[in-house]
Structure 1
């Protein structure tokens, strides 16, 4: 519940302070005086769009503050989560919450929640649970089928909300399963072709059974086998150079000459001990050359022509070449392709098994969805009959004795995200006409009354025993009386007064018949200095109030007749409460 509303430099309002009544508060004023700025200010507290054009001409910024009491404990916790503090908090009793919105002429907007600066969305999350604004836009929304369904579901209460949540979760799950199943089925042909290709390639590689770096090793071996004669000649030359030729009488080889050098150094060192180091080096060189000659000889013995082996190597290289032309530039890349393709083949083959699993899962989801949908439809049918009956009673009280109202639940061809049926509100104001879609058959005044009837029923439905709720909501109506007048306007005022017993109600109205039922009455009055028009808000009581009602009825504040009518209207409203 909002106790105080302060507005500064918003629209034509210079400064205004409103102490709102817990029951019914009305705001009136001449056309263009700025009375809708009260609703605009509350809308800003709800995180509404910040339009810098709303800042009063000549001012740097506009500011709106609202003080709320009787907060629900859960709401107080959310304020604390945002870093805000409540005033006069006492133990388990939540204190008062100050919500502030500031709009600069440059278009920058700031919000404070309990003293903590927050975003507009965070402010709206909290404030939207405290205030509900019903302006002309709500009247437009009421003509839409989705809004009518929302109202019906809200009226049905927590039982339907729980079933609806389960239904929507099941519906979303079913949709995801269906999408995946459709995708796998559509891809089945492409998947089969890919499986065949991968299977063929893996079988071909398995038959050849290539080994890592085998192609490089075979290439080197083939090169040796193909050049064996040249290799033997080179090895023979190296061996002769190292160890000599058996047919040669002179030691022309390296090993023979090294031996001669060693013998000469041995004789020299016997006489000249200083040359012993040279002898050791010559001895080492002789041993190294002997080992090298032996290895070259062994290698020469192995270099034998082997046409059969060469043919086998060439055949093996041809097989590996067939693989590298298809699956990689070398054998190592062929092996990588084989590993990756085997994993992909396992995945593809698992998709067929997944189709079976999804088909079973889809069947279970559809069965569950049908069960929840049936429960949802049953709850809606009961709520629709009760809500329509109570709304008709309210419309009768609003001078529409022949009005008929019912919710039509039409089965859908396919389950929708909100149930198995479409919801449409049908209405008829006259006994001779069949009920039709509300948005098509109702006039503006009839829409206003239907909207008010729904609000009254919804509010009373929250608290049938007549006690005030722990956290009283604030309902704001902007010109709920549009398109009506006379006796109908009186009944609208009376029903708003009834609604105000169960919720705090703020009404911006141009009808005296509605304003007469107020517990507290504010008037927005404008003045100008010839250059700038400004407005102020002040509370009226007693004779001032009668004068305002007279002005609203006849535009003649000083007319005794209009004043008499105003006093009579106030008396009637007092009796009607």
Structure 2
């Protein structure tokens, strides 16, 4: 429910504050006083496109702020506000919209700036405007379906939910199956390539790091002769050879050891030198043995070299195709095995989907048929109830029917629902948008809302009517007022009207007055009560507010509306 609307610099309105009643609030005033700007301001809160030309001349921007009572907001809507970054302001939610003279628009929900799409999503749950845009909406098949289904009641809505769930499951299974079948050849080719690669790798059976180890071994086997010569030269340098055993390092170290020991016998200070030469001698002896053994191990092995080269060639054939080295090849093999498992599982998935489709197809058909039957029964009932409402609203011969005809199966059934109107006897029913005038559309909306309210399916939230009384007056105006008042028992209703017969039913009555220069001042939106209200109703009926007769008629009208 709206608790307050603040408007600044919109059209002829400089600044105004509207505090609607929980029930029925009416707005009246002379032509050009700015009544339509009130509706336009609410449209701005709904995220409607707003022409920068509506920004009041001499100002840089128009601003509309709406405050909504949190007690009427659903948890889903509050979550949408939170998702948009907004927060409640105490026990209220603030929504605002700004439009600059340059055409730039900004929207805020709960203090957080948001885009128009999010604003529309949130505010459309709070306000319903029955004006020109609402009449266009009524002409849409989707809206007509919602009206019929809501009237039919919770059993049909539950049936529709069941149908929708099964339809979506059936549709998704069909789509996935079609995709799998369309990709069958591509999957088969991919699977064959993966199997070939895996088999090729398994036939070679490489080990992790094997290619690096073989390269090192091949290099060693290839250079075996050079290695052996170098090792033999090192051995001779250390131990000498058979022709000159004293030419090696060992002989020199041994001679040095003997000399230093003699020196130490004469000079104790040389004892440390003996220890050091002894360490060198022992180390040289150990090194000589190791080099000799290494030289003995370096024997040529042509067969092993050939085997290493063959194995290296086999590994190279794998790294050319599947990875930069054997470790990468093995990683490719593991990934491919997993992918192949998924591809092979597609056949199982196809069988599963076919089973799902076979099971859901008859269920979807049955639920669609049940939904059609329920809608046709509801269409007969609502037509019978809306007829008297239209008659009371100066459309005595109008026949409004919901046509339910077969259509391609969709998410909400297999029906094409169309609202048809035959305005006069003998006239063939035509689509509502073609058959009804603007005033008739407004009254049809009111009649439908009245029927829904009687059925306990009121719109709830805030409902705004603009031009609902276009082209009518007198007794019809009273009937319109009665229906708006009844609707206000379950919804907050705001009505812009030029009929005193409608305004008389208001729980709160506001007048938009012009200033002397034709503009609306900051105090232009004024609530009227008692004598002031009588005067305004008198003005609306006769253009005179000060005559006793006009005042008497106004009091009679208030009494008729139960407000006197």
Question: Normalising by the residue count of structure 2, what TM-score does the alignment of the two structures yield?
Answer: 0.80
Q: Deviations over 1:464-522 (max 9, x none)?
A: xxxxx9x975532100133x346xx6325413313413415433234566556667655
- Tell me which residue corresponds to 1:89: none
> 1:202 maps to what in 2?
198
Counterpart residue number, 2:485: 500
Q: Deviations over 1:263-321 (max 9, x none)?
A: 33333333333323333333333322222222222222222232322222222222222
Counterpart among 172, 176, 184 of residue 180 in structure 2: 184
Residues of 1 paired with 2:113 and 2:225: CA distance? 90
Work out which of the residue numbers 347, 362, 387 in structure 1 matches 2:342.
Answer: 347
Q: Deviations over 1:448-469 (max 9, x none)?
A: 3322211211122218xxxxx9
> 1:373 maps to what in 2?
368
- Tell whether the 8 Å contact from 1:134 to 1:478 is kept in structure 2 after alignment: yes
- How many residues align? The count is 544
1:91-110 correspondence to structure 2 within 5 Å: none
Whether the 8 Å CA contact 1:2–1:69 is kept in 2: the answer is: yes
Deviations 1:372-417 (A, max 9, x none): 4344334323322211211122122233333222212222323x12
Q: Deviations over 1:89-124 (max 9, x none)?
A: xxxxxxxx69685858777878798xxx56689998
What is residue 268 of structure 2 aligned with on the other side?
A: 273
Where do residues 244-255 of structure 1 align in structure 2 (5 Å cutoff)?
Answer: 244-246=240-242, 248=243, 251-255=246-250
Unaligned runs of at least 5 residues, structure 2: none
Shift of residue 83 of structure 1?
4.0
Q: 1:237 aligns with which of 217, 233, 240?
A: 233
Counterpart position of 2:468 = 480
Question: In the alignment, which of 399, 415, 418 is matched to residue 394 of structure 2?
Answer: 399
Residue 157 (structure 1) aligns with: 153
Q: Root-mean-square deviation (CA), in Å?
A: 4.2
Aligned runs of 1:350-365 on 2, under 5 Å? Answer: 350-365=345-360
- Residue aligned with 1:500, SS: helix
| Residues 128-527 of structure 1 aligned to structure 2 (within 5 Å) | 131-246=127-242, 248=243, 251-414=246-409, 416-462=410-456, 474-482=462-470, 484-485=471-472, 490-503=475-488, 505-511=493-499, 514=502, 522-527=510-515
Work out whether residues 428 and 441 of structure 1, in 8 Å CA contact, stay in contact via their aligned partners in 2: yes
CA distance in 1, matches of 2:3, 2:248: 120
SS at 1:506 equivalent: strand
1:213 CA displacement: 2.8
Q: Say if 1:550 and 1:519 are closer, same or farther in 2 by CA, change over 3 A.
A: farther
Deviates more, 1:254-263 or 1:368-377: 368-377
Q: Does structure 2 retain, via aligned residues, the 8 Å contact 1:135–1:477?
A: yes
Match of 2:541 in 1: 549
Judge conservation of contact 2:485–2:505 (CA < 8 Å) in 1.
no
The whole-number CA distance in structure 1 between the counterparts of 2:106 and 2:427 is 51
Change (3 A) 1:490 1:67: farther
Q: CA deviation at 1:173?
A: 4.0
2-structure distance, mates of 1:233, 1:19: 108
Distance in 2 (alpha carbons) for counterparts of 1:111 and 1:267:
105
Distance 1:62 1:167 in 2: 46
| Shift in CA distance, 208/398, structure 1 to aligned 2, threshold 3 Å | same
* CA displacement at 1:145 relative to structure 2: 0.9
Q: Relative to structure 2, which stretch is displaced further, 279-288 or 195-204?
A: 279-288
Say which SS state the counterpart of residue 305 (structure 1) adopts.
Answer: coil
Query: Which piece of structure 1 moves more, 308-317 or 353-362?
Result: 353-362
Give the direction of change, closer, same or farther, for the CA distance of 1:101–1:245 in structure 2 (3 Å limit).
closer
Q: Distance in 2 between matches of 1:219 and 1:449?
A: 92
- Single out whichever of 6-15 and 329-338 deviates more from structure 2: 6-15
1:554 alignment partner in structure 2: none
Give the 3 Å change call, closer, same or farther, for CA 54–295 of structure 1 in structure 2: same
Q: Deviations over 1:338-383 (max 9, x none)?
A: 2222222223222332232333334444455445434433432332
Write the distance in 1 (CA, Å) between the matches of 2:536 and 2:218. Answer: 118
Query: CA-to-partner distance for each residue in 1:420-459, whole Å, 9 max, x for gaps?
Result: 2221112212232321221223333432332221121112
Q: 1: distance between equivalents of 2:460 and 2:195?
A: 71
Runs of 5+ unmatched residues, structure 1: 87-96, 464-468, 552-556
Given that 1:4 and 1:20 are in contact with CA atoms closer than 8 Å, whether structure 2 keeps it comes out as yes
TM-score (norm 1): 0.79
Aligned residues of 1:324 and 1:331 also touching (Cα < 8 A): yes
- Take 2:373 and 2:498, find their aligned partners in 1: how far apart are those partners? 42
Q: Give secondary structure in 1 for the equivalent of 2:379.
A: helix
Distance in 2 of aligned mates of 1:346 and 1:305: 48
Q: Is 393-402 or 48-57 further displaced after alignment?
A: 48-57
Give the SS at the match of 1:148. helix
